[in-house]
Homo-oligomer: A and B are copies of this chain.
Amino acid sequence: MHLRTPLDLGLAIRQQRRRLGLNQTDLAGRAGVGRQWIVAIEQGKARAELGLVLRTLAALDLSLSMDDGVEAAGSPGLHLEPIDIDAIVEAARARRP
C-alpha cells in the first residue's frame, strides 16, 4: 500500500486496526498514546508526531519501507510478482463457510 498523504496513512491504520479486531482504545493502549490521538491520526492528522506514528504502526504489526521513486517509475513490469492463482483460490475457499 502506497502512502502519499496523512489521510492515506490514517486510513491504512484504521483498516489494519479493524482487521485485527481492535477498537481505538485497545490500539491506544498498545501504542502508548491517548485514544483521541488514534481518532485524530485515523482521520489524517498531518501534524501528528512521527515517533508516535511509528509506534502505532509497530503496535499494528505494520512496517514501513521506503522506495526510490525513480526505481518505481522506471521498471513497469519487472516489479510484478508471479501470482499463484491456485494458492489464492485455496485461501479464498478456506475463508468461505
- A-side residues, CB < 8 A to B, are 1-6, 9, 12, 16, 19, 45-51, 53-54, 57-58, 61-70, 72, 77-78, 80-83, 85, 87-89, 91-92, 94-95
**With A47-B50, A78-B91: A2-B64 Cβ-Cβ less than 8 Å:** yes
The count of identical subunits is 2
Given A65-B67, A70-B61, A95-B82: A50 and B12 interface contact (C-beta under 8 Å): no
A54 contacts across to B, CB distance below 8 A: 3-6, 9
What is the CB-to-nearest-CB distance from A90 to chain B, in angstroms, rounded to a whole number?
Answer: 8
User: Chain B's nearest CB lies how many Å from the CB of A96?
Assistant: 10
Bound form: Cα–Cα A80–B84 in Å:
12
